[in-house]
Structure 1
Amino acid sequence: MSVWLSWLSGPVQDRMDILLSLKSVNLDQSSKDHYTSSTIRQRVYKTQKPQYQRYQKEITNAKVPFEVITETSLLTSEQQKMLMIVATKQSGVTECK
């Protein structure tokens, strides 16, 4: 590690902060929660089903295009404005009309 750090200049080192918090785990003790693949699959489907119904196709909130959100969701003008700001920032557009 010290050899690697010697390759970096001081200003670069000053900008590097690594904070890692971990809980200790007792590997001899089994987990309290045991979920089967079937149980997890059912939970996922239960969550996705209303999204499929909302968008009337197999698309989830994570992948829905912006245009579909504006067409299918009842948003106030303030919510629409906020959504436009976020969408503009994510697309890299610097100006929104």
Structure 2
Amino acid sequence: MVTSILRPTVHYPIRHISTRLLGSRWSSFPAVVTVFVVSGLMHELIFYYMTRVSPTWEVAWFFILHGVAVVAEVVVKKMVPGKMRLHPEVLTPPIK
């Protein structure tokens, strides 16, 4: 539900604007970070309305950090030649 709201209202417009400024290869990065910022702010607002305690901004910063980490991961994967993949044994859950 959140994805179906944030994608057309935040991600697509920011990506469209940043395509003009950065080009199509890098345009999704500002859009991804903006989506995480908006999501973090909404979580702070939800916590405020539930608890009536002044925001500490820890949740918002967590979302912002997560957005920056996602963008950094994608940038590294684009810059490193070949595919960065984990060993199949790491990706496969243990069978009991």
Q: TM-score range with shorter-chain normalisation?
A: under 0.3
Structure with a larger share of its residues in helix:
2
Higher RCO (CA-CA < 8 Å; seq separation 6+) = 2
- Flag the structure with larger Rg: 1
TM-score w.r.t. length of structure 1:
0.26
